[in-house]
Structure 1
Amino acid sequence: MRPPKTKDLAETAADDTAGAEGDDAPAARRGIQSVEIGLRVLAALAAEPQAATLGAVAKRADLSASQAHRYLASLIASGMARQDEASGRYDLGAQAIQIGLAALARTDVFAVADPAIAEFTRETGRSTLVAARGPLGPTIVRWHAGRTPVITSLAVGSVLPLLGSATGHAFLAFMGEEERIGAVAQAKADDPRAPDIDVAAIRDKVRRTMSASVDELLIPGLRATAVPILDIQGRAALVVTMMATPAFDRNDDAAILGKLQATCKALTERLGARWQ
């Protein structure tokens, strides 16, 4: 059932806020608040994993059902939301999708992520690398040296093994099934000495913990833990890997991993994607 035609968003909010602020509240102030509340409703709608009921949107936006109903009506009129005629549930409209896609098109993932990872390195002292998936495999695109240098032959431009590195496992876990099968077959063809791993088990563990770790698998004395930054399709757009030698206390690893996960989660959400 479609909501009845209502006043525009500014008029709706003026009614909603009049009781709270009094009839003497400046109209301009009420108008600004109307936009804020309307965006709050839109954000609540976007936060739902699928088309949502009026009650779910109202609860998430911290509004009464009647208030949320009026705002949704205005959002529907502007194309920012839509309502399914059969179920009555609400979802994002074509206009909202277009705005989201335009924002994504103007977002340089690396430019957004790199300063945050540099700050993580400064705060924790751990060396980190940022990798993208290139035509030859996971490729290092940035290296941030920590307070205690990690001596290794790896450098910007180095390609990491898909099956034998924490970075590779993080990429592997967020590939589609067909893509994953092809990538594993190619990795084995390129390197017959690649470790024989349980791909399904690694995928499940990485997606459950949102991290991948190897201990002295790629380089003796080096332990590495990788965390993905996801794109809107749920793929790993970038993977950030922190490295440690025996000079770093293993007892600190869990807390520092938590900081890296929080950083990558914030970057994922900034890119308009959902953290698993």
Structure 2
Amino acid sequence: MEHETRRSKGINSIEVGYRVLEAIQEGPGSVPLKTIAERASLSPSAAHNYLASFIRTGMVRPDGRGQYALGPSLAALGMTAVRQMDTYELVEGAALRLRAATDLGVAVLIWTEAGTVIIYNRPGSPEGPFELRNGLVSTAWTGGGNVFIAYLERELTTPVVERELGVSHDECTAVMNSIATNVRNAGYAICDLKQIPDYRAISAPVWNSDGTIAYALTLTAHKDAIDTSPTGPHVTHLVRAAAQLSHTLGAPQSVMRQAVE
């Protein structure tokens, strides 16, 4: 029993130390001790003790101004982890867990030069009469496409949406502005699927380690079966899954917070 108690305390210390590292990861740039302590829910003296150990191992470096940044040994560990990580496997796993939690259809979308593309999808339970297919889909009329409209540079998305809508540049800009505002205010997109009548999608952004959008993670179902309320189970599961996947991919916390305006 005594051995188990010591072991538990050791594990807890690692978890607390990881909170300190996450507090620094949030940035932006080097972070002062007071901010690190607040983010990690520690006293400044306790946070300083962890920092002292991390500095000795090269996992944290002081910048000479009383602030701290992640260090070279942590960067080396991170690069090794990235090389060993199968990103597609992580994304597929996140989508399958989301499907299991909601019983709805799931899809993962990326942005390409041609527009929005489904790279992975699984139907809900029970399966509906319509089947999503991998490949190029609408940007203006899909949840994932709306996420890309909100968070990608306009020079990438405008030509695609303009062709889809068949309207003037000014009209297209107005539509895209409205979509982007709604998505950024909520942190996710809700869209009726024009290509699948009476079906609706909720989609959330997944972020890369460099703060750019990597994927759109999407739930789809008949509009009577999907709960789009902000505090409902479907939105909650989706947003949590997208945030967890972003975290696994190394996305900065500051980027995920700024995604909701």
Q: With structure 2 as the length reference, what TM-score do the two structures score?
A: 0.77
Structure 2, unmatched stretches of 5+, are none
Partner residue of 1:244?
Answer: 221
Q: Residue 42 of structure 1 is aligned with which of 3, 21, 28?
A: 21
CA drift at 1:222: 1.8
Q: Please state whether the residue corresponding to 2:137 is helix, strand or coil.
A: coil
Q: Please state whether the residue corresponding to 1:198 is helix, strand or coil.
A: helix
Partner residue of 1:165?
Answer: 142
* Amino acid corresponding to residue 140 of structure 2 in structure 1: L
Question: Which range moved further: 218-227 or 70-79?
Answer: 70-79
- Do residues 228 (structure 1) and 205 (structure 2) align? yes
- Do residues 155 (structure 1) and 150 (structure 2) align? no
Partner residue of 1:7?
Answer: none
* Amino acid corresponding to residue 101 of structure 1 in structure 2: M
Change (3 A) 1:43 1:192: closer
Partner residue of 1:4?
Answer: none
Partner residue of 1:182?
Answer: 156
- Do residues 58 (structure 1) and 24 (structure 2) align? no
Conserved? CA contact 1:174–1:234, under 8 Å: no
Count of aligned pairs: 244
The structure whose RCO (Cα within 8 Å, separation 6+) is larger is 2
- In percent, how many aligned pairs have the same letter? 26
**Aligned-CA RMSD value:** 3.3
CA drift at 1:81: 1.7
Conserved? CA contact 1:127–1:243, under 8 Å: yes
Change (3 A) 1:204 1:142: same
Change (3 A) 1:100 1:205: farther
Distance across 1 between alignment mates of 2:205 and 2:129: 24
Distance across 2 between alignment mates of 1:266 and 1:236: 14
CA drift at 1:70: 4.1
CA drift at 1:112: 0.9
CA drift at 1:64: 4.1
Distance across 1 between alignment mates of 2:80 and 2:220: 36
Partner residue of 1:199?
Answer: 176
Distance across 2 between alignment mates of 1:241 and 1:255: 14
Distance across 2 between alignment mates of 1:228 and 1:33: 32
4+ runs deviating over 6 angstroms = none
Conserved? CA contact 2:115–2:160, under 8 Å: no
Structure 1, unmatched stretches of 5+, are 1-24
* Amino acid corresponding to residue 241 of structure 1 in structure 2: T
CA drift at 1:111: 0.8
Distance across 1 between alignment mates of 2:17 and 2:229: 44
Distance across 2 between alignment mates of 1:236 and 1:156: 20
Q: Which structure has the larger Rg over C-alpha atoms?
A: 1
Partner residue of 2:235?
Answer: 257
Distance across 1 between alignment mates of 2:246 and 2:133: 25
Partner residue of 1:107?
Answer: 85
Distance across 2 between alignment mates of 1:272 and 1:234: 9
Change (3 A) 1:76 1:212: same
Change (3 A) 1:162 1:92: same
Distance across 2 between alignment mates of 1:130 and 1:232: 18
Partner residue of 2:190?
Answer: 213
CA drift at 1:146: 0.9
